[in-house]
């Protein structure tokens, strides 16, 4: 039985193979649920300063029994600091409701860059066999991400407008299509804001005035006409309105637009 489970797991993990880091992350959440037969899987990116875990992707199997947090402050959670330092799987045996039930670190270039987590509190006895499978999943996700990041870095000059992190139209469109796919198949929210500035609409100027407002999970890109857009991952339209308010205060014209019709 165990052997059959491992064969099925390997077959499912092959679905992680993608040159899009965005698609790898989204599939990691889906496959974690399928393989471990659990609910409430989530993928967090660790912020550049190491202070926060930012939710990038989550499963649609959320419930009133547990709520996947969009941000976890690492400094306030000893378990997060231990996870990052030890680089070992963490099982929430203290039943701390502020933390996931299980977490495993994603280590890239000898640094913990992300965390794959499960919030399902029905997993009362997470045994050694399940821990091994979860660690196998994390290793597969890590390898897939390394391949995707290597590819994306190799074509970075083609992906971005010179001297900025602004995606060219074809690459920005691909990310939106991935977000739309995950929204349809996994109820994952995202929002797109059209941007301009009251005084200067040069792309480089806009980017560097916007950069400080971005999370690691957000994207800036152009449409076919060269207009600038901000894609907010895992963000409802209601939540996006708060972002729009902040942008307007910084001199931007900001307008919420629909998904693939941007």
Q: Looking at residue 65, what is its pLDDT? A: 47
pLDDT tens digit sequence for 18-54: 778 888 998 899 889 888 888 889 999 988 888 888 8
Q: Looking at residue 14, what is its pLDDT? A: 65
- Residue 197 is part of which domain span? 158-257
Shared domain for 212 and 231, answered yes or no, is yes
Domain boundary at 133, 154, 175, which?
154
What is the pLDDT of the chain when averaged over all its residues?
83
- How far is Cα 73 from Cα 187, in angstroms, rounded to an integer? 25
Residues forming beta bridges with residue 66, ordered by sequence position: 63
Q: Which residues of the chain have pLDDT under 50?
A: 1-4, 7-8, 64-65
* Token pair recorded at residue 184: 């349809």
Whether residue 262 lies inside any domain: the answer is no
Residues forming beta bridges with residue 160, ordered by sequence position: 167
Q: DSSP 3-state assignment of 28?
A: helix
How many folded domains does the chain comprise?
2
Q: Looking at residue 229, what is its pLDDT? A: 94
Cα 225 to Cα 81, 169, 170, 176: the distances in Å are 45, 9, 12, 17
Shared domain for 250 and 222, answered yes or no, is yes
Residues 34 and 8 sit within 8 Å (Cβ to Cβ): no
């Amino acid at each position: 039985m165990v052997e059959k489970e491992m064969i099925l797991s390997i077959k499912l993990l092959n679905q992680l193979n993608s040159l899009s880091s965005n698609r790898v992350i989204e599939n990691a959440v889906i496959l974690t649920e399928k393989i471990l037969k659990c609910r409430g899987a989530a993928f967090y990116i660790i912020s550049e300063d190491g202070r926060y875990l930012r939710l990038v992707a989550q499963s649609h199997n959320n419930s009133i029994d547990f709520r996947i947090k969009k941000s976890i402050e690492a400094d306030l959670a000893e378990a997060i600091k231990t996870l990052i330092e030890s680089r070992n799987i963490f099982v929430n045996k203290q039943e701390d409701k502020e933390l996931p039930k299980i977490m495993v670190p994603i280590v890239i270039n000898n640094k913990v860059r992300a965390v794959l987590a499960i919030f399902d509190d029905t997993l009362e006895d997470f045994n050694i066999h399940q821990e091994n499978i979860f660690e196998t999943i994390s290793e597969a996700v890590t390898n897939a991400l390394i391949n995707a990041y290597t590819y994306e870095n190799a074509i970075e000059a083609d992906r971005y407008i010179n001297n900025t992190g602004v995606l060219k139209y074809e690459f920005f469109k691909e990310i939106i299509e991935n977000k739309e796919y995950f929204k349809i198949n996994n109820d994952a929210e995202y929002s797109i804001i059209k941007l301009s500035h009251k005084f200067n609409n040069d792309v480089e100027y806009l980017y560097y005035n916007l950069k400080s407002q971005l999370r690691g999970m957000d994207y800036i890109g152009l449409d076919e006409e060269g207009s600038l857009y901000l894609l907010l991952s895992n963000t409802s339209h209601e939540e996006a309105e708060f972002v729009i308010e902040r942008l307007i205060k910084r001199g931007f014209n900001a307008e919420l637009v629909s998904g693939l019709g941007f």
